[in-house]
Structure 1
Amino acid sequence: MSDYLIRALAFDNTIRAYAVRSTETVSEAQRRHYTWPTATAALGRSMTATVMMGAMLKGEEKLTVKIEGNGPLGPIVADANAKGEVRGYATHPQTHFDLNEKGKLDVRRAVGTEGMLTVVKDLGLRDYFTGQVPLVSGEVAEDFTQYFVVSEQVPSAVGLGVLVNPDNTVKAAGGFVIQVMPGATDETITELEKRISTVEPISKLIDRGLTPEEILEEVLGRDNVQVIDRMPVTFSCNCSRERFGNAIIGLGEKEIRDMIEEDGQAEAECHFCLEKYVYTKEDLEGFIDEIRSQA
């Protein structure tokens, strides 16, 4: 089954909900970065939340999430757009610990409990929108919940889960975001809080093979969910040879000349997908010609 995300409404359109199956997407990140299990869980949770935030955008809008804690994993960065495309990396992907006291991957220890979660949205305007909140747990889901409540003033519940096989591959990944909209009654909020507090952990729901629709039915109640639309979700990187070439041109003629004299070539690697791009001496001399032609 391919990854996909659903948007839904519940309780007479006063609750907005998102759910996603992100197993293949997180698997692709794990494969490209060779993340170890604890790092896989942290990065996978972050990408899963980010792709759901992307689904809240429109058109060509996009966003970048950075989780920078004081743990050994280092900063996690994830990008997403409104089309279900997401990419991400962890600074130290080979980070792993023994299971925590609950028998789960110790994401909190890897991420750290002190630091910041930052969201930068490119909404096509002159200035970017930036929201930032302190980390509250390092478990990622609680930190995104805090972001929605504090930075966007939207009461929310976030559930994120990543299950890792003994061979380091991803068994399953997914999550949900439930948001209370204006007009929700106290009765609705009370029922919602009760349901969320008693529902199985998201990792269990994912392990049982539930679809995004079934996850929301578990969380909100079978008769309460009205699915609005679905979209495919994929690991997608927009890096290119041309893009990195333009970045090299931006360094200026002196820097490029130094590359030629010191190494005879230049090599660029994308942080997100680890794709490598090699530029020969001839390529670099062509860049210099291009700079001179524009002078």
Structure 2
Amino acid sequence: MNFKDRIIRATGKKTPFRLIVVDLTATMNEIGKYHNAQGFALKLLAENSIASIFLSAGLKFPGTVSLTTRFSGEITHIQSDSTPQGLVRAMIPQPELQAVGANEPALLPQSVSVIKLNELGKRVHESIIEAPSVSMGQNLATYLLQSEQIRSAVGIEAAFNKVDPSKLDYAAGFYIEAFPDLEDKDINLIEVIVQNLPKFKDMNTPEGFNLDELLDQLRGPYDIDIVKEIDPKPFCPCSKERTVATLATLKTADLEDLMKEGKDLEVVCDFCRTKYQITVEDLKSIIDERK
């Protein structure tokens, strides 16, 4: 059996909790190719993206969650954007990513920020907390408790291939949310289930990560309803039009300076690494529209 990337969302039939499991291996391997990401940097990209997906699954409206984890050290930040439909993109500043290569970077966690956008791109929520750890699971659980008063259990793990560090062996995770009326006895039992969960590497097979096993392990004695199953995929909404619109935020004097150079600009998307050629005529059009 060949496993594919999936997001499975479930709720307890009689017990008030929510459960989400994710396999994002192939998606993050594809995103990693865009960036030429390797080793620990690729692992960090994947784990931050899984955390973002857990947050976007909780949106009660069409929109996007942008999760940024900041560090002091060889990598300054990781940003992952995702939607309830399982669309995801991620980035680490390219110079930092290439400088680190496949090596483990020296990192000191600083902060976690979450921005929620509606379908029109308007910010409807913004929050920031001090990051307690390099562990994305611990960071997410802390954010949920501090900023949204949600009790949760989170496990997120990605592992890169030791022979070929440009590929992940797996990138998976789980999220359990306790609804306000979940009884203490059930909370205690769920804690025991999580503590005795098999290691992620033991649920990985030559065919891929066994997400169904993870789900079965986490459900324990509880009956659950599968609410939705989604196939995640990389997606970036960038375009030349959006790139030109971003340049249009520059001051007229700055645009005129660029025009005087008489050369086309090459602008590269931070997320998908797509290159856009912005011509002198494009710059002139922006300036003319202001007159």
CA drift at 1:128: 2.9
What CA deviation, in whole Å up to 9, does each residue of 1:136-172 have, x standing for no partner?
1212211111111211111111111212122121222
d(CA) in 2 for partners of 1:278, 1:123: 30
Between 213-222 and 32-41, the greater mean CA deviation after superposition: 213-222
Out of 6, 15, 18, the residue aligned to residue 4 of structure 1 is 6
- The equivalences for 1:73-222 within 5 A come to 73-91=75-93, 92-94=96-98, 95=100, 110-112=106-108, 114-123=109-118, 128-165=124-161, 166-168=163-165, 169-207=167-205, 209-221=208-220
Query: Match of 1:214, SS?
Result: helix
Matched residue SS, 1:250: coil
Q: What are the within-5 Å matches in structure 2 for residues 235-246 of structure 1?
A: 235-246=234-245
SS at match of 2:261: helix
Indicate conservation of the 8 Å contact 1:30/1:170, yes or no: no
1:242–1:123 CA distance, 2 compared to 1 (3 A):
closer
* Per-residue deviation, 1:223: 5.1
From the superposition, tell whether residues 118 and 206 of structure 1 become closer, same or farther in structure 2 (CA, over 3 Å).
Answer: farther
Name the Cα RMSD after superposition: 2.2
| SS of the residue 1:287 aligns to | helix
Partner of 2:20: 18
TM-score by length of 1: 0.87
Count of residue correspondences = 282
Q: Tell me, yes or no, if the aligned pair for 1:252 and 1:291 is still in contact at 8 Å.
A: no
- Percent identity (aligned): 25
Task: Please tell me whether the aligned partners of residues 66 and 117 of structure 1 are also in contact (alpha carbons under 8 angstroms).
Answer: yes
Q: Residue 24 of structure 1: SS of its match in structure 2? A: helix
Structure 2 counterpart of 1:197, one-letter code: Q
C-alpha distance in 2, partners of 1:111/1:2? Answer: 32
SS of corresponding position for 2:97: coil
Task: Give the match's secondary structure for 2:276.
Answer: strand
Q: Quote the residue 2:58 is aligned against.
A: 56
Would you say the 8 A contact 1:5–1:231 is kept in 2? Answer: yes
Mind listing any 5+ residue stretches in structure 2 that lack a counterpart?
A: none
The answer to which of 148-157 and 204-213 deviates more is 204-213
CA distance in 2, matches of 1:69, 1:11: 40
Letter paired with 2:117: D
* Greater alpha carbon shift after TM alignment, 12-21 vs 237-246: 12-21
**Partner amino acid for 2:173?**
G
Is this contact kept in 1: 2:170–2:209, CA < 8 A?
Answer: no
Q: Is the contact made by 2:38 and 2:102 (CA closer than 8 Å) also made in structure 1?
A: no
Partner of 1:253: 252
Q: Write 1 or 2 for the structure with the bigger share of strand.
A: 2
Alpha-carbon distance between aligned partners in 1 of 2:196 and 2:141, rounded to the nearest angstrom: 18
> What is the TM-score normalised by the length of structure 2?
0.88
Change (3 A) 1:249 1:127: closer
Return 179-188 or 256-265, whichever deviates more.
256-265
Distance (Å, rounded) in 2 between the aligned partners of 1:176 and 1:192 = 13
Whichever residue aligns with residue 117 of structure 1, its letter is: V
Partners of 1:250 and 1:263 lie apart in 2 by 20
Superposed displacement of residue 291, structure 1 = 2.9
Residue 102 of structure 1: aligned partner: none
**SS in structure 2 at match of 1:167:** coil
Shift of 1:17: 0.8
